[in-house]
C-alpha cells in the first residue's frame, strides 16, 4: 500500500492531473466562448445564427456538419490561446535564460581537453593556461 501511495503522491503525477483538470476547464470556457460569442459574430456577418443546426441528409442519414464547424472553431481558438499564452512566453523565457548562462568550461590550448573557465593549469596535460 505504501508503494501505491508513493506513486499517487509523486510530483509529476499530481502536476499532470492538475494540468488535465485545468485543461478541461479551459476547453469548456473556450467552447462557451465559441458558441456564445464568436459564432453569433460570424452569424451577424454571414446570416446563420447557429452553426450547430446546420445539417444535411443522405439516404435518411443526418450529417451534423454545423457541430463540426463549432468544434473546429473551438480547436483553433484553443490552439491559438495555448500558443500565444503558453508556448511563446516559455520560448521567450528559455531564450533569456540561454543568453544569461555563461560557459563553465573552455578548451585547453595544448591538448584541447575541456577545463573549467577559472582554471590556471590543465588537469590533463598540466600545461599553464592563460586566465579567461
- pLDDT-derived band at 39 (thresholds 50, 70, 90) equals confident
C-alpha cell belonging to residue 129:
593556461
**pLDDT of the residue at 48:** 65
What's the burial of 10, exposed, middle or buried (CB within 10 Å: 0-12/13-18/19+)?
A: exposed
Identify the CA nearest to 109 among candidates 130, 83, 85, 89: 130
How many other β-carbons are positioned within 10 Å of the β-carbon of residue 92?
A: 10
* pLDDT at 132 > cutoff 80: no
CATH number of 2-101: 1.10.1200.120
- pLDDT-derived band at 11 (thresholds 50, 70, 90) equals low
* pLDDT at 62 > cutoff 80: yes
Mean of pLDDT values over 53-60 = 86
Residues for the chain: how many in total?
A: 132
pTM over 0.75: no
Determine how β-strand 105-107 pairs with β-strand 61-63: unpaired
As a whole number of angstroms, the distance between CA 89 and CA 66 comes to: 34
Mean of pLDDT values over 40-69 = 80
**pLDDT of the residue at 54:** 80
Amino acid at each position: 500500500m505504501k508503494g501505491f501511495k508513493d506513486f499517487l503522491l509523486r510530483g509529476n503525477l499530481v502536476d499532470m492531473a492538475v494540468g488535465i483538470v485545468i485543461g478541461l476547464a479551459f476547453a469548456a470556457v473556450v467552447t462557451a466562448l465559441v458558441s456564445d460569442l464568436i459564432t453569433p459574430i460570424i452569424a451577424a456577418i454571414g446570416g446563420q445564427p447557429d452553426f450547430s443546426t446546420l445539417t444535411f441528409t443522405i439516404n435518411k442519414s443526418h450529417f451534423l456538419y454545423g457541430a463540426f464547424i463549432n468544434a473546429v472553431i473551438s480547436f483553433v481558438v484553443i490552439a491559438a490561446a495555448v500558443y500565444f499564452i503558453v508556448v511563446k512566453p516559455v520560448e521567450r523565457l528559455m531564450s533569456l535564460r540561454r543568453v544569461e548562462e555563461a560557459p563553465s568550461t573552455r578548451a585547453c590550448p595544448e591538448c584541447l581537453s575541456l577545463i573549467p573557465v577559472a582554471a590556471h593549469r590543465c588537469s590533463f596535460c598540466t600545461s599553464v593556461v592563460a586566465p579567461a
